[in-house]
Amino acid sequence: MPVSPLGRLGVWYFFYFAFVGAFAPYFTLYLQDVGLSAWEIGVLMSVPQVMRLVAPNLWGLLADHLGHRVGIVRLAALFSALGFVGFFFTHNYTGMLLAMALVWFFWSAALPLVEAMTLDYLVEHPDRYGRIRLWGSVGFIVSVMVIGTLLDYLPIAALLWAILAILASVLASALTLPDTKVGAGGTAPPLSGLLKRPEVLALLAACFFMAVAHGPLYVFYSIHLVDHGYGKMAVGLFWSLGVLAEIGVFMAMPRLMRHVSLRQILLVSFALAILRFLLIGWGADSPVLLVVAQLLHGVTFGAYHAAAMAVLTRWFDSRQQARVQGIYGSLSFGAGGMVGGLIGGAAWGSLGAGITYTFAALCAVCGWWLVWRSPATAWPVR
Q: What is the mean pLDDT of the chain?
A: 84
- Give pLDDT, residue 342: 82
Backbone angles phi, psi at 374, to 5 degrees: -75, 135
- Residue-wise pLDDT for 91-147, tens only, equals 889 999 999 999 998 888 788 788 777 777 766 665 567 677 778 888 988 998 899
Q: By the 8 A CB rule, do 104 and 52 touch?
A: yes
Mean pLDDT of 306-330: 76
Instruction: Check pLDDT > 50 for residue 183.
Output: no
What's the pTM value of the predicted model, to 2 decimals?
Answer: 0.73
Q: By the 8 A CB rule, do 74 and 171 touch?
A: yes
- Residue-wise pLDDT for 123-135, tens only, equals 666 556 767 777 8
Structural domains in the chain, sorted by start: 5-378 (1.20.1250.20)
Q: Could you count the other beta carbons within 10 Å of the beta carbon of residue 197?
A: 13
% of the chain exceeding 70 in pLDDT: 87
Q: By the 8 A CB rule, do 203 and 371 touch?
A: yes
CA atoms of 357 and 281, how far apart (whole Å): 5
Query: Residue 312: which pLDDT band, with cuts at 50, 70 and 90?
Result: confident
CA atoms of 42 and 39, how far apart (whole Å): 5
CA atoms of 284 and 220, how far apart (whole Å): 13
Q: By the 8 A CB rule, do 368 and 267 touch?
A: yes
The DSSP code sequence of 45-103 is HHHHHHHHHHHHHHHHHHHHHHT--HHHHHHHHHHHHHHHGGGGS---HHHHHHHHHHH
Rounded to the nearest 10 degrees, what angle do helices 93-121 and 38-66 cross at?
40
- Give pLDDT, residue 60: 67
First to last CA, the chain: 36
- Give pLDDT, residue 192: 64
Query: Residue 71: which pLDDT band, with cuts at 50, 70 and 90?
Result: confident
Kindly tell me the sign of the dihedral angle through the C-alpha atoms of 227, 232, 236, 237. Answer: negative
